[in-house]
Amino acid sequence: MLIFIERVGPLATVQDLGRQGWFDSGVGQAGAADRGSLRLANRLVGNPEDFAAIEVLLGGLVLRADGHLTVAVTGAPAPATVDGTPVGHASVLELDEGQVLRLGLTNTGLRSYVAVRGGIDVVKVLGSRSRDTLSGIGPDPLAAGTQLPVGPPPRTLPIVEFAPVALPPGVLTVRACPGPRADWFADPDQLFRGSWLVSADTDRVGARLDRADGPPLVRSIDRELPSEGVALGSVQVPPSGQPVVFLADHPITGGYPVIAVVLDADVDRVAQARPGDKLLFVPAR
């Protein structure tokens, strides 16, 4: 069974939950930027949560079924149609051979997930089918003409037809705890004062932030920092003072001080923040 890709938007990649246990070899985890949405899409079609799916940036994906497919679209709510007929978001869709699923442009959120029963069965690299956009490991980004194999269906069956998901708030509130280099800043609490705007430079490596209001981040220690390990959700501050929240394809080491670390439970929401969205950091309790 195959999926034929007829068109892509800005970026579409194959992602599962990432390659784990390779940091000591210099390989990052990658995987879905919004892990919760990937898990939900897989549950809707009866897959194990870690099966590979398609991560779609800002919509624009068009695919055609080679045979009967059970599909679900989650994450950023891209308007979807099957052969021109509108279909529900976060619901179970049945495609017959030759039918075409189209995703329009998203109005909220950044990344949608298209899961198919059986999973996207591309070759694993270091234990994962995920594309790492920073290192280039994993399958190439999708393009018109790409053919994706679908794996055999699992024994588990879909148990619901629809999963309602709340829309994100107008201002994203993100919990964070002090980072290992918070003392390199004159007042690390400035991160939590005022708000930030997601920059147009945001990508799978990190969500880059510009000051919306409030004081800038000022370092009290100006010397160079030897590269050290960084984790998912680390808030690294380069010399510009504009922080970067590390996402799925982040490097495993960094040479700028980490002022804070976003709680793992909130990283998925940062990954769905669009350029221009407002973000507030709050201390984790």
Domain locations along the chain:
2-149, 171-283
277 neighbors 237 (Cβ within 8 angstroms): no
Q: Which ranges constitute the DSSP H helices of 169-278? A: 264-271
Which CATH architecture describes the domain 171-283? Beta Barrel (2.40)
Q: Which residues contact 249 (CB under 8 A, 6 or more apart)?
A: 28, 30, 132, 133, 134, 135, 203, 204, 205
pLDDT at 51: 98
- CA 230 to each of CA 78, 102, 222, 251, 259: distance values in angstroms, whole numbers, following the listed order: 32, 38, 20, 7, 11
Among residues 265, 235, 247, the alpha carbon closest in space to that of 130 is found at 247
What is the pTM assigned to this prediction? 0.95
pLDDT score recorded for residue 174: 97
Q: What is the DSSP letter of 203?
A: -
Dihedral, 108, 211, 254, 12 alpha carbons, nearest 10: 20
pLDDT at 176 (0 to 100)? 98
Q: Would you give the DSSP letter of residue 146? A: -
C-alpha–C-alpha distance, residues 106 and 76, integer Å: 6
Looking at residue 67, its pLDDT comes to 96
Q: Are 106 and 89 in contact (CB under 8 A)?
A: no
Cα–Cα distance for residue pair 62/82, rounded to 1 Å: 10
Of the candidates 245, 263, 256, 260, the one whose C-alpha atom is nearest the C-alpha of residue 207 is 245
Counting as low any pLDDT under 50, the low residues of the chain are none
Distance of alpha carbon 89 from the chain centroid? 18
HSE-up (13 A, CA, CB side) for residue 153 = 13
Q: In angstroms, rounded to a whole number, what is the distance separating the alpha carbons of residues 85 and 184? A: 56
Nearest to 9 by CA among 97, 110, 138: 110
